[in-house]
Chains A and B, each alone.
Chain A
Amino acid sequence: MNELLSAISDGHVVAKRNVIKIKRVPEVLVFVLISPIMFVLLFAYVFGGSIDIPGGSYREFLIGGIFAQTVIFGATFTGAGIADDMQKGIIDRFRSLPMSRSAMLVGRTASDVIYNVLSLIIMALTGLIVGWRIHNGLLKMLLGFVLLLTFAYAFSWIMAYVGLLVPSVEVINNASFMVIFPLTFIANTFVPAENLPGVLRTFAEWNPVSSVTQAARELFGNLPPGTPEPTAWPLQNPVLYTVIWIIVIIAIFAPLSVHRYAKPK
């Protein structure tokens, strides 16, 4: 069997294992589904009144940002899951088997997309209830969701690599919190990037979290005429800029992770 076929079929076996786990540990699922609802409600009602979006409604503006932040946090499950398997010796068992060297990671990153699909559905429903609407049709909406999921998928490869490096699940949870919070807040997720001061504004404009958010807003039609045009290139071409990031992240972190996993220490 060649390496690619073997990676897919072994990866499928590994993914199946993770899917069973999602079913058997519903506590994780509750967290995955409740926290996005909480975020949508908190931001919609707490900040909704005080942040003014010229030409649009804050709730419509907000949803794209919440989607982006939530799927990125969802991607951290990949790292935590891998760190957990390392701690429990399951990775060593896999490494002693004649399976494809990339299957463990391929299967893990693929099955973790399920968490994000579920949380996107829940967030979308909550969003609809608080007043978020789609204005550009079903196809563009799907494109928006696919872009968010693919960006999170790429991000989960970074987390996979981190998961292989850190000694425990606790470390990865704390570390990802410290990185992802600034990453998702110094962006246009909750306020327009143009409102941020100096260096933060530049960071936000080039932050891929901003571009994926901007792309989702555009595709959902949440930026009505009258919304100020972004001045930075990444935000003027958010889909292209996001796709570039997706490709670059996967191209770097997939081989890096597989190498780290497969290399006899």
Chain B
Amino acid sequence: MGTIEATGLAKYYKEVKALDGLDLTVPQGTILSLLGPNGAGKTTAVSILTTLIMPDKGHAMVAGADLVKSPKEVRKRIGLSGQYAAVDENLTGFENLDMIGRLYHLGREKARVRSRELLDRFELDEAGDRPVKTYSGGMRRRLDLAGAIVAEPQVLFLDEPTTGLDPHGRVEMWSVIRELVTKGTTVLLTTQYLEEADRLADDIVVIDHGREIAHGTADQLKATIGGERIEITVAYSAALPETQSILSGFADGDLQVDDHTRTVVAPVIGGAPVFTRALRAIDEAGIEVSDVGLRRPTLDDVFLSLTGRAAEEDTTTDTEGART
């Protein structure tokens, strides 16, 4: 039995299936990452599990409390850090944390001590008595996360904790999250970045249209997705068929060809040595290239290989569907 145990969670808005039968199990002291594009249902799942919205179907236990029957018990045991740093700009960092601590009913003294402790730990001690207005994006996110753990919750929900952060802020955030988990906190984290799930999660659930489309550890998923991608942009479209046929000799899986950008993408296993050989073959064939690269698989690649369509296109149709 996991610290989060959800079965068949579903939420429908008219025609749109925001969540369509999602099962989740998160054992104590582990991180589960919900990976998916915008509109996949990640935020809906988090909103349900944090009692903000009611599921239309399914049930869940969070930290031993029933989500639908005793939401208040759930609220006592969880922390939530949302997609937008929900901190009050006009309050100082300390005042924000202190207020949240008081609203978790920690008591005046304990809320105060705990707030100072968290400001120290998140390197906000110097900024702690300045209004949050003056904070950088990374500082706001750290403060928001600090707010989520004021009451030392058993379960922490992080909805895209690093979206909009610069690379430095992102790495900082990752180390804070990892530290929490080593202390026994159970984390459910949503992300659009495969790399983030890869770095943090013990277990990854890929969702699309509110349903699980893949589930496993980062390594298991990568094995199904394939390895890195060779990306070659040729100078003239005429060379596309030949490039494609050369690269298919090195590829592990289907190639993508984009006529418009004159780019061929080939999933490969074996990294740099394979890349070098492929380039040599292209060069020997006398094909003029304008750009080449070897890159890690992205969420787009995951989607492409799991659903046969790109994540981005999907999002567009999704939002349009929701609007009509």
Contact A25 B90 (CB under 8 A): yes
Q: Chain B residues near A24: list those with CB within 8 A.
A: 90-91, 131
Q: Which residue of B lies closest to A264 (CB)?
A: B54
| Chain A positions 17 through 38: 1 when the CB is less than 8 Å from some CB of chain B, otherwise 0 | 1001100110000000000000
Give the complex CA separation of A96 and B62 in angstroms: 13
Asked if B82 is an interface residue, CB under 8 A from chain A, the answer is yes
Stretch at the interface among B95-103, B226-234, B248-256, B270-278: B95-103
Contact A93 B80 (CB under 8 A): yes
Contact B88 A96 (CB under 8 A): no
Contact A264 B147 (CB under 8 A): no
Q: Chain A residues near B100: list those with CB within 8 A.
A: 93, 97
Give the complex CA separation of A13 and B131 in angstroms: 18
Asked if A95 is an interface residue, CB under 8 A from chain B, the answer is yes
Contact B78 A96 (CB under 8 A): yes
Contact B90 A264 (CB under 8 A): no
Number of interface residues of A (CB under 8 A): 24
Q: Chain A residues near B75: list those with CB within 8 A.
A: 96-98
Q: Chain B residues near A17: list those with CB within 8 A.
A: 88, 91, 95, 99
Contact A98 B104 (CB under 8 A): yes
Contact A94 B88 (CB under 8 A): no
Give the complex CA separation of A241 and B84 in angstroms: 46
Q: Which residue of B lies closest to A87 (CB)?
A: B84
Contact B104 A97 (CB under 8 A): yes
Asked if B191 is an interface residue, CB under 8 A from chain A, the answer is no
Of A20, A92, A94, A96, which contacts B91 at CB under 8 A?
A: A20
Q: Which residue of A lies closest to B96 (CB)?
A: A17
Asked if B244 is an interface residue, CB under 8 A from chain A, the answer is no
> Could you tell me which residues of chain A, from 207 to 265, have a CB within 8 Å of some CB in chain B?
264-265
Give the complex CA separation of A264 and B51 in angstroms: 7
Of B78, B83, B84, B102, which contacts A13 at CB under 8 A?
A: B102
Asked if B16 is an interface residue, CB under 8 A from chain A, the answer is no
Q: Chain A residues near B84: list those with CB within 8 A.
A: 88-89
Of A21, A89, A99, which contacts B82 at CB under 8 A?
A: A89
Contact B91 A13 (CB under 8 A): no
Asked if B105 is an interface residue, CB under 8 A from chain A, the answer is yes
Q: Chain A residues near B87: list those with CB within 8 A.
A: 90
Q: How far is the CB of A139 from chain B (nearest CB, A)?
A: 38
Contact B95 A98 (CB under 8 A): no
Give the complex CA separation of A261 and B228 in angstroms: 48
Contact B90 A93 (CB under 8 A): no
Q: Which residue of B lies closest to A94 (CB)?
A: B103
Bin chain B's interface residue count. 20 to 34
Contact A16 B86 (CB under 8 A): no
Contact A98 B76 (CB under 8 A): yes
Q: Which residue of A lies closest to B75 (CB)?
A: A98
Q: Known: A20-B90, A93-B82. Is A13-B99 also a contact (CB below 8 A)?
A: yes
Contact B52 A96 (CB under 8 A): yes
Q: How far is the CB of B59 from chain A (nearest CB, A)?
A: 14
Q: Which residue of A lies closest to B95 (CB)?
A: A20
Asked if A10 is an interface residue, CB under 8 A from chain B, the answer is yes
Chain A CB within 10 A, most for which of B76, B83, B100: B100
Of B52, B53, B85, B105, which contacts A98 at CB under 8 A?
A: B105
Asked if A1 is an interface residue, CB under 8 A from chain B, the answer is yes
Q: How far is the CB of B81 from chain A (nearest CB, A)?
A: 9
Q: Known: A13-B102, A99-B103. Is A88-B52 also a contact (CB below 8 A)?
A: no
Chain B CB within 10 A, most for which of A1, A92, A98, A103: A98
Give the complex CA separation of A16 and B83 in angstroms: 26
Q: How far is the CB of A75 from chain B (nearest CB, A)?
A: 21
Asked if B3 is an interface residue, CB under 8 A from chain A, the answer is no
Chain B CB within 10 A, most for which of A90, A94, A97: A97
Contact B86 A89 (CB under 8 A): yes
Give the complex CA separation of A14 and B103 in angstroms: 9
Give the complex CA separation of A90 and B76 in angstroms: 18
Q: Known: A13-B99, A96-B52, A96-B80. Is A21-B88 also a contact (CB below 8 A)?
A: yes
Q: Which residue of B lies closest to A1 (CB)?
A: B105
Q: Chain B residues near A95: list those with CB within 8 A.
A: 51-52
Of A13, A88, A103, A265, which contacts B86 at CB under 8 A?
A: A88
| Chain B positions 229 through 242: 1 when the CB is less than 8 Å from some CB of chain A, otherwise 0 | 00000000000000
Q: Known: A20-B91, A264-B71. Is A92-B103 also a contact (CB below 8 A)?
A: no
Give the complex CA separation of A103 and B47 in angstroms: 21
Q: Chain A residues near B91: list those with CB within 8 A.
A: 17, 20-21, 24
What are 12 residue pairs bridging A and B, where the CB atoms are less than 8 Å apart in the complex? A17-B88, A17-B91, A24-B90, A88-B89, A90-B88, A92-B86, A93-B86, A93-B100, A98-B103, A98-B104, A264-B71, A265-B53
Known: A21-B90, A21-B91, A95-B51; 10 extra A-B contacts, CB below 8 A, are A1-B105, A17-B91, A20-B91, A25-B90, A88-B86, A96-B51, A96-B80, A264-B52, A264-B54, A264-B71
